[in-house]
Structure 1
Amino acid sequence: MVDASYHNNMNVTDVYNSKWLKMLGWKPNITITVDISKNLQFINYADNYFHNINLKDSSTVRVNVTAKNLQELNLSNTNFPIRYIYEADTPNLEVLDITGSTCQTIYVHLFEKATKLRKIVAENIKLNFDELESIFYSLKNLEELDVYKSNLRNIPPTLLKYQTVLFRLNLDENFFPSFPATLKYVQNLKELYIRFNKITYITESDFVTFKRLGKAKIFIQGNPINCDCLHVQSLKWIKEIQHLFMDLNETLCSEKSSTVLEIIQEKTFEEFVKNCQTDTWLALSILMLLILIVTITVVFLAKKYRVHIDYVILKLRSRWKGVYSVESGDFQFDAFISYAEDDYRIVSTTLYQTLTQRGFQISFPDKDFIPGISKADELLRCVDKSRKVVFIITENFLANGWNSYAVQMTVTHSFHNNRRQSIIVIIKDNITIQRMPKDLRYIWWSIVSIRWPETSDLMEQFWDELDRALKSV
């Protein structure tokens, strides 16, 4: 232990030349215990600089300081190595000034025994209070805290939880985007300086906190307070507790057009609120109109392109299930036949039997659709596995909405897979081309159309023509 008891008073020269401070530059990996004179009450080392401090690993150096009667310590604008002090037994210390300290970290329990500390000045420092949430827990007599211009963006919510007698707090020229939540604990605060930060509005919790502060004086000049219609409620809260704000007449709105005090004047504010309500209703009306237009457009497009949307969904679903389109020349069926339910007998007997006898593999819904699976899924599966698709166009077919869907799905599939020559149309009941489904009319140039004969003597010619169409590439 280094004994400095021979000092009754200590000035700058004494501090610089004293053995206990020079030891800090000597030996790493040690604990140094310093006992300062019991009679020493004041140390002023402001605006000085320590030399010969060159520790490779400061985390292994701990300094324990005992100064039983020290009441005031001024280390402002120095490089005093506060980060090395692990424990300070200073039960009578009342004032500490570390303004301009270059230390970026200190031990969290540094002030545990400084229970009488009532004033801390720490302007222009670089401490990160996020890692020091409990550093003030034992300072129940702290009355003043000054962290002016210290690059602070936030402080822990419970940092000042036990500072119930704190009456002056200076947070000027930092980067706080809002009022610190820890303010709710300092209900005896009389002066709050939070000028030239980044605060744009006050929240409901801020409002409740400030109402509890009662007679506090709050200074917010230099903050970019928003005075637009989106922050009417914030301005209402400021108006209600405006007696707490000492410099509203000097606090410019972020729009720079006027001060906050001018905005919250009774008549001006009433007119401002009315204009905002009008603007709000206008904005809402425009928004609702846009939503309506978008909704109508989406519904219209969904109806118009329903089949295309369904086709994409079905293809994606097939890929997800591991089912892929067949390769050219690897079809399971020569043709898939689409027809109206009322025409089932023609397909299942005459058409199916004749084509099968001629060596064709034919697919149609009643034979190949798997029960329990959606018709759309099965339609796409059978069409995909068939080299040709044959539509039996009758009056019954034209009257059925599902058949129109089947035509659109088949046409979409054919063009998507470059199979434009794969559609064959068999026309019955003397139906004209003009009455054909529009999706077929649009691609009439690429399909094969065959009319069902009206007399039996022409049937053989019909079968030969259909045979050639099914065999064509």
Structure 2
Amino acid sequence: MRYIFDLDTPNLEILDITDNECPTAYPHVFEKATKLKKIVAGNINLKFDGMERIFYNLVNLEELDLQRGHFYNFPPTLLKYQTSLMSLNVDGNLFSSFPITLTYLHNLKQLYIRSNKISWITESDFIMLKRLRKTEIFVRGNPITCDCLHVQSLRLMKEIRYLFTDLNETVCKEKNITVLELLTERAFAEFQKNCQTGTWLPVSFSMLTILTVAIIVVFLVNKYRVHVDYVILKLRSRWKGVYSVESGDYGFDAFISYAEDDYRIVSSTLYQTLTQRGFQISFPDKDFIPGISKADELLRCVDKSRKVLFIITENFLANGWNSYAVQMTVTHSFHNNRRQSIIVIIKDNITIQRMPKDLRYIWWSIVSIKWPETSELMEQFWDELDLALKSV
């Protein structure tokens, strides 16, 4: 199974798709399966990018098993509406911290997050976990760091150690003792005393220097991430024999980028009207090929389109992927001398100051059109958009 489609099964209560290769799913796959109580989906390699609301309608879900899925993070609101969830199993994944979406799981009884990559807990982890008073947390197999650089993390863990069920089986990364043994009153007092001695200072300074350099490197990589991604994607396209289209030889008049929650207005209003006016329009749900990365497909569709339309709404501004799409499009436009190719349609009375910064920086070269507030102005809006799409 390479793709999970719509489940038209309103009476289904248990779903087990373990060991199926499902990297992509229809965003509304569970919309009709409202009675689901248990999902077992171990080792499916599903990507949740752009699917923050995939579990939106599953308000009766009680058990979710996502073991060995190669997850390193979840969208913050992935489980926002699963207040009935009592068991969450994410054993054998790549989490380096506790997923923020746990904030919404007030009735969670068991959290299995064993054999991940968690080395320490942060202040935000501490605050979130402290609210999970009814939850048993299983962390065995994580590389818990028990050195002096992370003494504060260990203090926080000591304070909420009653939540962790298997600290007696969780071994410190640097010591041949369990975390529970270290966090006993006598052992932890001795540990803190040793950390305060001068013998640790040279090592601490060296590690701090390395950490600082690492942070700077990570900062620079993140700051120029889109530019790096763009070069990699272009090189990958060339290796595959896919080259940029020549001027005037585009497959589409425009590519539309929008928030998932605005899909209806794109598909039923923009797409239909512009198609009736003779334009060839591309947008993700219609033209992205399942199984291929969204970044690859975004660059391919933008490259094949004369213009790019951004539908700027409150939903758009709230979605991280859309910010990435803006940066990638702006980068592509300037690399290919297509600075007049971006059109912005503004809804919800959003001001320029709230626009993505990459759009603000090149606002002088962008055509912006405001979505009309009354139906009487719609025809004028379509004529204005028609003119912008036909411009060179």
**TM-score normalised to the size of structure 2?**
0.50
Deviation of 1:238 (Å): 1.0
Find out whether 1:226 has 2:145 as its counterpart.
yes
Q: How does 1:456-467 map to 2 (within 5 A)?
A: none
Whole-Å separation in 2 of the counterparts to 1:235 and 1:255: 13
Residue 139 of structure 1 corresponds to 58
Deviation of 1:114 (Å): 1.4
Residue 173 of structure 2 corresponds to 254
SS for the counterpart of 1:176 is coil
Deviation of 1:281 (Å): 8.2
Deviation of 1:267 (Å): 0.5
Residue 92 of structure 2 corresponds to 173
Whole-Å separation in 2 of the counterparts to 1:161 and 1:286: 42
Match of 1:107 among 7, 19, 26: 26
Whole-Å separation in 2 of the counterparts to 1:248 and 1:286: 30
SS for the counterpart of 2:49 is helix
Residue 193 of structure 1 corresponds to 112
Whole-Å separation in 2 of the counterparts to 1:133 and 1:158: 6
Residue 268 of structure 1 corresponds to 187
Q: How does 1:61-460 map to 2 (within 5 A)?
A: 79=1, 82-83=3-4, 85=5, 87-279=6-198, 282-283=201-202
Report the AA paired with residue 184 of structure 2.
Q
**Once the two structures are aligned, what percentage of the paired residues are identical?**
62
Whole-Å separation in 2 of the counterparts to 1:152 and 1:221: 18
Whole-Å separation in 2 of the counterparts to 1:101 and 1:154: 20
The superposition leaves residues 435-461 of structure 1 with CA deviations (integer Å, 9 ceiling, x where unpaired) of xxxxxxxxxxxxxxxxxxxxxxxxxxx
SS for the counterpart of 1:96 is strand
Q: Do the aligned residues in 1 keep the contact of 2:3 with 2:23 (CA within 8 Å)?
A: no
Whole-Å separation in 1 of the counterparts to 2:205 and 2:34: 62
Q: How does 1:53-64 map to 2 (within 5 A)?
A: none
Whole-Å separation in 2 of the counterparts to 1:285 and 1:218: 31
| Change beyond 3 A, Cα 1:137–1:250 | same
The superposition leaves residues 101-150 of structure 1 with CA deviations (integer Å, 9 ceiling, x where unpaired) of 12211101011121111110001111101232110111111111001111
The superposition leaves residues 274-311 of structure 1 with CA deviations (integer Å, 9 ceiling, x where unpaired) of 11122488559989xxxxxxxxxxxxxxxxxxxxxxxx
Whole-Å separation in 2 of the counterparts to 1:173 and 1:133: 22
The superposition leaves residues 349-393 of structure 1 with CA deviations (integer Å, 9 ceiling, x where unpaired) of xxxxxxxxxxxxxxxxxxxxxxxxxxxxxxxxxxxxxxxxxxxxx
The superposition leaves residues 63-119 of structure 1 with CA deviations (integer Å, 9 ceiling, x where unpaired) of xxxxxxxxxxxxxxxx4x653x2x333222211111111221110101112111111
Whole-Å separation in 2 of the counterparts to 1:229 and 1:204: 17
Whole-Å separation in 1 of the counterparts to 2:170 and 2:159: 17
Deviation of 1:154 (Å): 1.3
Whole-Å separation in 2 of the counterparts to 1:134 and 1:91: 18
| Change beyond 3 A, Cα 1:209–1:285 | closer
- If asked which structure has higher relative contact order (CA below 8 Å, sep 6+), I would say 2
Residue 262 of structure 2 corresponds to none
SS for the counterpart of 2:149 is helix
| Change beyond 3 A, Cα 1:279–1:251 | farther
SS for the counterpart of 1:130 is coil
Deviation of 1:162 (Å): 0.9
Name the count of aligned residue pairs. 206
Gap runs ≥5 in structure 2: 207-392
| Change beyond 3 A, Cα 1:259–1:142 | same
Report the AA paired with residue 110 of structure 1.
V
SS for the counterpart of 2:39 is strand
Report the AA paired with residue 155 of structure 1.
F
Residue 450 of structure 1 corresponds to none
Whole-Å separation in 2 of the counterparts to 1:192 and 1:101: 23
Whole-Å separation in 2 of the counterparts to 1:256 and 1:150: 30
Report the AA paired with residue 130 of structure 1.
D
Whole-Å separation in 2 of the counterparts to 1:208 and 1:184: 10
Whole-Å separation in 1 of the counterparts to 2:199 and 2:53: 46
Whole-Å separation in 2 of the counterparts to 1:149 and 1:191: 17
Whole-Å separation in 2 of the counterparts to 1:193 and 1:186: 14
SS for the counterpart of 2:7 is strand
Whole-Å separation in 1 of the counterparts to 2:31 and 2:185: 50
SS for the counterpart of 1:192 is strand
Report the AA paired with residue 227 of structure 1.
C
Whole-Å separation in 2 of the counterparts to 1:226 and 1:125: 30
| Change beyond 3 A, Cα 1:155–1:282 | closer
